[in-house]
Structure 1
Amino acid sequence: MLLRRRIVAAGILVVALVALVAVAVVPLASRLGAATDDRPPLNAAAFDPGLLIEDASFYDGAAMTATEIQDFLDEHIGRCATDSCLNVLRADLPARAELVSDATGRTICGPWEGGELSAAEIIERVQRACGISAKVLLVMLQKEQSLVAGATARDPAPEELAAAMGARCPDDAPCDPGRAGFADQVAQGATDLAAYRASEFMRQPGVHVIAYSPDPACGGSEVRIANDATAALYNYTPYQPNAAALAAGWDEGDACSSYGNRNFAWYWAAWFA
C-alpha cells in the first residue's frame, strides 16, 4: 500500500531551482538533423509571452489515453532505428507515494503503481497522478531533446533519453545523475511542473521581468504572466524568445536568443491547438 509522503517547502524549492533547461538556448533545427512534417506558426506577432498555454489544457490529467499516446508516437516517430525510440521503448517506473506540499497542504502528485511499462504508459500514468496533460509532456519531450519527431526521435542517444524532460538539468551544470533515465525524467519533470502551483512558490501569475537568455547582458522585459501554466513554464525554463528568435522560424536568432518557450508554444500550436 502506498503511503502518504510529504514534501517540505525547502526541498521543493531546490527542485524548482535546478529544473532549468539545459537546451533552452539551442535552436531546435540544429538538433533535429532533418526536417519534420510539423511547421511552426511563423507569425511572430501571434506569440504571446504572457500566455503560452491555457490552464485548462495544461492541467488536464485525462487529456490522452495510453493508446492515444502510443498512436501519436507511432505517427510522429515512424520507423525506429533502435529499441530506444519512444514508440518502442520500455522502462521501469518505480512506484511512488502521494506527494504533498508542506507549504500549502495541497497535493502535488497522487500515488502511482510502478512496473515495466511502455513510454506511452509511463506518460499516461504520470499525467493522471500529477494532473499535467500528456500533450504537454509530449511537447516538453520534443522541445527538450527532440524525442517525438525528427531524426533524433528515430535514433535517440542514451544521453538524450537520460535528459528527456530537461528535469534537474541546469544551464550551467551537468544534469543530476540521480534523475537520469526516461521514466525518472518524465516523473521529475511533471512533478516540478505541478509543484509550482501546488506549493505557490517561485513565479506566480503577475508581472515579472523575464530574461532573453542566460547572459545577463542580454537583458529582458516585463511580462504579464496571465495564468499558472505560463508561470510554471517560465519557472521551468526562465527565458523568453527575443525578436530575433521569433523571426527566425526554427532557426537561430542572434547571440541573445533562447528557444525553449518559443518551441513549446510553436509545437503546442502545431500539434494540439
Structure 2
Amino acid sequence: MLLEKKNVVVYGAGGAVGRAVARGFADEGARVFLTGRNRDNVEAVAKEIADAGGTAERAVVDALDEKSVTEHLGALIADAGRIDVSFNAIGISPRGLQGIPFTDLPVDNFMRPITTYARAHFVTAKSAARHMIPQRSGVILMHTPEPARVSLPLVGGMSVGWAAMEALNRALSAEWAQHGVRSICLRTTGLVETPTVEVVYGLHSAAMGIPRDQFTAMVTSMTHRKRPTALAELVSVAVFLASDQASAMTGTVANLTGGIIVD
C-alpha cells in the first residue's frame, strides 16, 4: 500500500472532494484524521472508511481558525506521534459569488473567496509544517479547478482565490522543501460529479440563458479528451502525490485538466 503507516489530516472532509480523497488515502493504508465544521458529515465519512476496513479519526475543526487547527494537530501528534500529509479540501458556496458580472458583483462577494481560501490554506499548511519540519518530512496538498489559470467569465473572485492558492503552493515549497516538506497542488476541471459543480454550472448556464446540459457540453468540449476530470482520477493522483513515490515533486501543479490547460 502506498500510504501504509502514514498519518493524514483532511480538512473539509465532509465535502465531496474531501470525502473521496480521504477514502482513497484510507484504502492505501493511511490512518486518516477527518476534520470539518459539520460533525454529522465528518461522522458519515468516518463510518464509510471504517466499514471498508480503514482507520479514521474525526473532529470538528474550523480551518479558518488557527487555534482550532493547532489544538487539533497537537492532539493528533500526542496520539499518533507525527503527521505525514495535510490535505485541505474546504470549499465555499458559489451562490452570490459566481454567475454575476463584475459590474454587478458586490466588493464583499468578490473578496470572500480570496480571503477565505488564502487564510484557510495558510493556516492549515503553516500549522502542519511546524510539526513536519522537525521530522524532516511531510506533504502539503491542495486542489484548484482550471479558472486558477484560465480566464473565464462570471467566476467572480473565485479565480483570483484559486490563483492565490497556487501561488501560495509555490511559496511554501520555496521555504519548506529544503526541510523535507513538499507542497503540491492538484488542478482539475470542474468535477461534475460533485454537488458544488452542479450548482456552479446551473448559475453559469442561467446567466448565459442556455440549458445546463448545453453549458456542460460547452465546457467539456474545451478538453482534449472531450470529458471532464473524474473524481476517481483526482483521488488516484492525490494518493500518488502523497506517497514517497512522488518525492521529487514539490512547488508544482499536477495538471489534471485533460488538455484545457496545456503546459
Q: TM-score range by the shorter chain?
A: under 0.3
Between structures 1 and 2, the one with greater helix share: 2
Which structure exhibits the higher relative contact order, with contacts defined as CA atoms closer than 8 Å and separated by 6 or more residues?
A: 1
